[in-house]
Amino acid sequence: VLPTVGFIGLGNMGSGMTRNLQRAGFPLVVNDLRRESAAELVAGGARWAATPAEAAAESDVVITMLPTPRHVDAVVNGPEGILAGIADGGTWVDMSTSVPEVADAVRRAHGARGLRILDAPVSGMSVGAANGMLQIFVGGEAEDVARLRPVFEAMGDPDRILHVGGAGAGYAVKLMINQLWFSHLVATAEVLAIGVKAGVDLDVLRDSLIASPANSNFVEHDVLSILDRGDYDEGFAISLACKDLGLSIDLARSVGVPAELSAVVEQIYRRAKAQYGDLAGEMTPVQLYEDLIGR
């Protein structure tokens, strides 16, 4: 029989991930601040848990998919948090884009309870969550990763479920992926704006970049979806992108890398957030440049 999965955080990502777990036959116990976000899952047989403690107590593995480290801390350590419900030896997997501090503190304070803790953040956007094709970057012990593989496979692309190292490595890999992706976005939008202002036709410029050694996945695919379809990916809020940039820069500085480029990218993201609002999509910084060239 399949293990019961507790899942906390049924937002843009968690809603799709839980639907895929349910489709794969995992019994589910779910919790969110907004009960209505569980309506469809409950109609499909999931149990509602009134608190994270209850979700942890009633499941074999409890997963969190929450916005920021602060939310993860509250859900784990709060008065009705995971630690108040999870059995000794139980498993907690944090799939949020976050940092190791919360888990490290739990290991230090509750080492004797034998909890199994993994970080397994994801890429692939809300579309990937909905269609079960996420990329998953797992930090933790090999035996735990192997045991949890069927759970991950219900949500992700089996070929892109990567065990990237010990505890915390998944968080670090995920932050670096986003840092590079956001940097690509800003760099690409900037050169397109300059080229167009210099008189080159946008389509010609884009095709030239694609034909050149400066081509990238971003130039070839993502820019097209933004410029042709105005798709700024509202399934990922720019406020969360700014959170990720802040976490990467903190990480960089904590290991003695100055992260100068990252700091500029962060500044541009914060400007777009101020201009278009917290809930604008993660690709909205491109709009700053579109506004410049009057598109």
Active site residues: 174
CA distances to 78, 172, 235, 269 from 128, in Å: 30, 21, 11, 23
d(CA 156, CA 135): 6
Residue nearest to ligand NAD (CB): 11
Contacts of residue 253, Cβ cutoff 8 Å, sequence gap at least 6: 259
Contacts of residue 271, Cβ cutoff 8 Å, sequence gap at least 6: 285, 288
| AA letter at 153 | E
Q: Which is nearer to ligand NAD, 163 or 174 (CB)?
A: 174
Residue of 5, 7, 9, 232 interacting with ligand NAD (CB under 6 A): 9
Q: Examine residue 11 and tell whether it contacts ligand NAD (CB under 6 A).
A: yes
Minimum gap (Å) between residue 20 Cβ and ligand NAD: 14
Q: Examine residue 14 and tell whether it contacts ligand NAD (CB under 6 A).
A: yes
Q: Which is nearer to ligand NAD, 7 or 26 (CB)?
A: 7
* 71 contacts 52 by C-beta, under 8 angstroms: no
Residue of 24, 84, 125, 180 interacting with ligand NAD (CB under 6 A): 125
CA distances to 141, 221, 239 from 163, in Å: 9, 27, 28
Q: Examine residue 65 and tell whether it contacts ligand NAD (CB under 6 A).
A: yes
Q: Examine residue 126 and tell whether it contacts ligand NAD (CB under 6 A).
A: yes
* 10 contacts 67 by C-beta, under 8 angstroms: no
Q: Examine residue 236 and tell whether it contacts ligand NAD (CB under 6 A).
A: yes
Q: Examine residue 85 and tell whether it contacts ligand NAD (CB under 6 A).
A: no
Q: Which is nearer to ligand NAD, 58 or 190 (CB)?
A: 58
* 46 contacts 35 by C-beta, under 8 angstroms: no
Residue of 8, 28, 145, 172 interacting with ligand NAD (CB under 6 A): 8
Task: Give the tokens for residue 89.
Answer: 């030896």
* 250 contacts 101 by C-beta, under 8 angstroms: no
What part of residues 195-224 is at the interface with ligand NAD (CB under 6 A)?
A: none
Q: Examine residue 10 and tell whether it contacts ligand NAD (CB under 6 A).
A: yes
Q: Which is nearer to ligand NAD, 122 or 148 (CB)?
A: 122
User: What residue ranges bind ligand NAD (CB under 6 A)?
Assistant: 8-14, 31-34, 37, 65-67, 71, 74-75, 96-97, 122-123, 125-126, 235-236, 240, 244
